[in-house]
Amino acid sequence: MSSICPLLLLLLLLLLPLISAQTFHWGPCPSPQVQPNFRVEKYLGRWYEIEKLPASFEKGTCIEANYSLRKDGTIQVLNSQFYKEKVRSVEGTAVIRDSREPAKLGVSFSYFTPYAPYWVLTTDYTSLSVVYSCTSFLHLFHIDYAWILSRSPKPSPSTVRYVKQLLVREGIDISRMKATVQNC
């Protein structure tokens, strides 16, 4: 046990730069409810990021995600943002990890990284979506992400309030949530 403590401390120190740009919490990840009867084919297309919990990989404006079905049944994820005077894009792959829970997808942006959780908590497919991702480290602490997405770059304030209330009801801390500039 005594050798584990210094090792854990070293791990935390190494992760500190990454953690500071994310939303860090003590304890294991929450387990929010996901969209029942999720239909990925209705979810495909363009989604604009309206608000999010901090993510080190998203620093720009006009952030959007485009989802399309590949011939092999996986989902192409094409994220783009305007950053440092140019549009920057990254392509990834999403998969439904368990057909019994199709709203719990996994997303990877590299062949070398494991699939990260991408849980669709709610969507009406035509105007809004709420996505949550959380990674737990030994059940001691977790880093989470949450995104409010819309088919329109400017959803109504009442829609955003509704979604934030849903996140809070599911036990997700939204105190660090920030709006994404979408006027490009």
CA atoms of 5 and 110, how far apart (whole Å):
32
CA atoms of 82 and 108, how far apart (whole Å):
21
Asked whether residue 108 carries a pLDDT value surpassing 70, the answer given is yes
The per-residue pLDDT for 136 is 86
Asked whether residue 22 carries a pLDDT value surpassing 70, the answer given is no
Asked whether residue 7 carries a pLDDT value surpassing 60, the answer given is no
CB neighbourhood size of 6 (10 A): 9
pTM of the model: 0.85
CA atoms of 34 and 31, how far apart (whole Å):
9
- Give the DSSP letter of residue 129: E
What is the residue-wise DSSP string for 27-82? SSPP-----TT--HHHH-EEEEEEEES--TT--SEEEEEEEEE-TTS-EEEEEEEE
Which domains occur in the chain, in start order?
32-179 (2.40.128.20)
Top-confidence residue, 19 or 73? 73
**Tens digit of each residue's pLDDT (9 = 90 or more) over 120-144:** 999 999 999 999 999 888 878 888 9
The per-residue pLDDT for 129 is 97
Cα angle at 19 between 16 and 22, to 5 degrees? Answer: 160
**Tens digit of each residue's pLDDT (9 = 90 or more) over 43-99:** 999 999 999 998 887 889 999 999 999 999 999 999 999 999 899 999 999 999 999
- The mean-pLDDT minimum among 48-57, 97-106, 144-153 falls in 48-57
How buried is residue 148: exposed, middle or buried, by Cβ count under 10 Å (0-12/13-18/19+)? buried
**Is 164 in contact with 128 (CB distance < 8 Å)?**
no
